[in-house]
């Protein structure tokens, strides 16, 4: 009896490996009431071959060890850095792969702004994948498409959350010399349903469709990342994690997938080539250089392949070797431990299903009057060009 679709929700990260491997094509990924996808088996078609359970990366955790080294990097191009969430290391690796004739898989938006996987084959399209989207991404047919490219001998770079990379590797079932994997340090993913509710809220409030969106605008600097929405009617919305509904839900640990609170991929040794994450404490890691507040990527190198690539990125990025234990202690806590759920996590999506988004936030993670005032002050101070001074005096982020 195959139980893959009766799995405890904590034991399914939604990587889609089971649905892709099934020889009878009888597993569909169906969303639950929170808006997260889970496998559903068509019992009439299932032949009990057991493949789906055999390859599930949660049921078969990676126990390997590698000689991990740590680096911190910043892209040399201002435009790339402005569009990247941290230091633009992803773009440098993507550029390397495309220059070698390869293809890069990553996460962008579709025409309705759903957060989806896509692949790119030219350098002028790297911007489509640049920047973190703090939502669980739709993998679609990406695992299968990546396998086809690999089998045809094409160089493939696949980036994603650790569970998505583990799902890809489980599905592939063997090592490919022509595969480069990049995973992100990740504390959780909110559901696509929450994201849709957030988009609809803004579209209705501004009476306009959305032209562009950025979860981590650096208008106020890297250390004060802000959600930015550019509407087609010319309006612009900016909101920090203090007041923005999406960022506040994400950072308060109230909206992540159940598997994220007991994540099976919290180890320093990863089954990927690169692990990338935010380096907030650059000045402590590299004291001889002043933090320019434009963003730095911490990079863990797990394989010789990754080290060899990093050595060839000197035209794109400035990078420095740093102490592995120190970067994990200062910036990489989420490398090793899962997020602790917010006290109202259980009721969050139940409330969202029957009330408006603002009402849901008000009832679960209310925005304080102080936070509203600080946010307004920040905007005014910025307009008068005094944001850097205010940040230094009052630590306004
Ligand atoms: C859901 C999520 C949670 C994260 N949590 C943390 C954290 O707790 N601590 C931390 O230090 N860093 C976290 N990060 C990573 C961080 O935000 C940066 O992405 C990272 O520092 C790399 O930045 P970069 O400037 O080098 O590249 P960027 O250009 O910013 O990175 C883009 C890369 O992220 C991928 N990506 C974007 N959105 C998604 C998505 N929804 N799912 C899968 N892949 C995606 C793209 O495909 C691309 O490979 C998280 C990222 C995501 C997507
Ligand atoms: S973790 Fe992946 S392989 Fe395992 S049940 Fe969930 S979707 Fe399927
Ligand atoms: S047991 Fe085999 S046929 Fe049945 S769902 Fe799993 S992979 Fe598909
Ligand atoms: S926290 Fe773990 S389970 Fe959740 S998205 Fe990240 S890697 Fe996947």
Which residue's alpha carbon is at the smallest distance from atom 8 of ligand 2? Answer: 18
User: How far apart are the CA of 134 and the centre of ligand 4, in A?
Assistant: 11
The CA 209 to ligand 4 mean position distance, Å, reads 31
Burial bucket for residue 214 (CB in 10 Å: 0-12, 13-18, 19+): buried
What whole-number distance in Å separates Cα of residue 157 and Cα of residue 159? 7
CA 310 to ligand 4 center in whole angstroms: 25
Give the tens place of pLDDT for each residue, 149-190.
999 999 999 999 999 999 999 999 999 999 999 999 999 999
Can you give the pTM of this predicted structure? 0.95
Mean pLDDT of 302-318: 97
Check residue 369 and give its pLDDT: 95
Q: Is the pLDDT of residue 357 over 60?
A: yes
Contact 1, 48 (CB under 8 A): yes
258 lines ligand 2 (CB under 6 A): no
Residues forming beta bridges with residue 138, ordered by sequence position = 116
| 367 Cα to the center of ligand 1, angstroms | 26
**Residue from 80, 184, 306, 329 to probe ligand 1 pocket by mutation (most atoms less than 8 Å from CB):** 184
Q: What is the pLDDT of residue 397?
A: 55
Query: Would you state the structure tokens that stand for residue 379, as one six-digit string?
Result: 């905007």
pLDDT for 358? 98
Residue 384: band (very low, low, confident or very high) from pLDDT cuts 50, 70, 90: low
Backbone angles phi, psi at 189, to 5 degrees: -130, 120
As a whole number, mean pLDDT of residues 304-331 equals 96
What are the C-alpha distances in Å from 233 to residues 183, 207, 211, 219, 228? Answer: 36, 8, 9, 20, 15
Ligand closest in space to the Cα of 74: 1
Return the sign of the alpha-carbon dihedral for residues 153, 158, 162, 167. negative
CB neighbour list of residue 160: distance below 8 Å, 6 or more residues apart: 105, 106, 107, 117, 137, 168, 182, 183, 184
Nearest Cα residue to atom 5 of ligand 2:
12
Q: Which residues contact 275 (CB under 8 A, 6 or more apart)?
A: 162, 182, 183, 184, 185, 299, 300, 302, 335
Q: What ligand 3 atom has the least distance to the C-alpha of 21?
A: 7
Ligand 3 pocket, mutate which of 50, 56, 59 (most atoms under 8 A from CB)? 50
């Amino acid at each position: 009896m195959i139980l893959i679709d009766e799995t405890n929700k904590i034991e399914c990260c939604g990587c889609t490996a089971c649905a892709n491997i099934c020889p009878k094509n009888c597993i569909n990924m169906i969303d639950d009431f929170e808006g997260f996808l889970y496998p559903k088996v068509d019992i009439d078609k299932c032949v009990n071959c057991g493949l789906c359970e055999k390859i599930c990366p949660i049921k078969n955790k990676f126990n390997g060890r590698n000689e991990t080294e740590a680096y911190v990097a910043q892209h040399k191009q201002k435009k790339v850095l402005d569009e990247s969430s941290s230091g633009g290391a992803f773009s440098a690796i993507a550029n390397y792969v495309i220059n070698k004739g390869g293809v890069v898989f990553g996460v962008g938006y579709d025409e309705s702004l759903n957060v989806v996987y896509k692949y790119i084959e030219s350098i002028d399209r790297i911007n489509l994948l640049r920047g973190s989207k703090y939502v669980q991404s739709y993998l679609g047919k990406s695992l299968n498409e990546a396998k086809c490219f690999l089998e045809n001998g094409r160089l493939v770079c696949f980036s994603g959350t650790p569970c998505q990379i583990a799902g890809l590797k489980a599905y592939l079932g063997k090592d490919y010399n022509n595969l480069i994997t990049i995973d992100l340090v990740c504390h959780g993913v909110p559901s696509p349903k929450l994201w849709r509710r957030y988009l609809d809220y803004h579209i209705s409030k501004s009476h306009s469709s959305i032209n562009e969106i950025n979860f981590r605008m650096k208008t106020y600097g890297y250390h004060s990342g802000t959600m930015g929405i550019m509407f087609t009617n010319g309006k612009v919305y900016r909101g920090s994690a203090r007041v923005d509904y999406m960022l506040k839900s994400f950072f308060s640990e109230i909206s992540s997938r159940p598997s994220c609170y007991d994540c099976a991929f919290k180890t320093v040794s990863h089954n990927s080539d690169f692990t990338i994450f935010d380096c907030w404490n650059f000045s402590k890691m590299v004291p001889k250089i002043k933090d320019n507040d434009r963003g730095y990527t911490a990079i863990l190198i797990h394989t010789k392949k990754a080290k060899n690539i990093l050595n060839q990125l000197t035209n794109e990025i400035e990078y420095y070797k740093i102490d592995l234990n120190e970067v994990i202690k200062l910036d990489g806590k989420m490398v090793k431990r899962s997020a602790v759920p917010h006290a109202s996590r259980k009721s969050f999506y139940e409330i969202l299903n029957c009330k408006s988004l603002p009402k849901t936030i008000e009832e679960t993670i209310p925005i304080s009057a102080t936070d509203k005032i600080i946010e307004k002050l920040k905007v005014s101070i910025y307009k008068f060009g005094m944001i850097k001074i205010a940040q230094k005096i009052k630590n306004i982020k």
